[in-house]
A and B are shown apart, each in its own frame.
Chain A
Amino acid sequence: AQSVTQPDIHITVSEGASLELRCNYSYGATPYLFWYVQSPGQGLQLLLKYFSGDTLVQGIKGFEAEFKRSQSSFNLRKPSVHWSDAAEYFCAVGASVDYKLSFGAGTTVTVRA
């Protein structure tokens, strides 16, 4: 079964600074990887996904993520954060054999002025 670890529970970053959120996954085959963002009381919005091909993927809202098979990682980055980026971020891994999407515990991002 697949699993995801997000080592950082909470990150505080200044507006305009760069942001990197870590995600490590465990899965025996080729993983399908996703980053979702959730604002308080809202649903989850897909930021980006990796299925295959180029290991650097671009997403919405200026986010990008890099898949590193050797490190079993799929870290999310943004060069310059905006106050509206304050939210909960979930990394998730899926498999081709079933419908289950395994989520990490999430990282809360706080943006200070």
Chain B
Amino acid sequence: AQRVTQPEKLLSVFKGAPVELKCNYSYSGSPELFWYVQYSRQRLQLLLRHISRESIKGFTADLNKGETSFHLKKPFAQEEDSAMYYCALKYGNKLVFGAGTILRVKS
């Protein structure tokens, strides 16, 4: 069965420090993975999708099929990055989500 695991409920870093939000998945097919971000009480916004290999707001994520991971990285955290981050796996026309990681960037 398809499953997404985000092992950290909360990640707290100082401004300017590197950030890595972990995501591991379990899926027997060819994975299609996404990162969504949710700022306080707002809608989920698409941040990244692995298929387009783009960098948004300084964030990048690389799909590692050997380790079944899709970790989200940013070299220098900013205070405005504080939010909830969800990793999601697409199967068919549906998404399954991880439990989410709260990122807090301290000044």
Q: Do A and B come from one complex?
A: no
B positions within 8 Å CB-CB of A: none
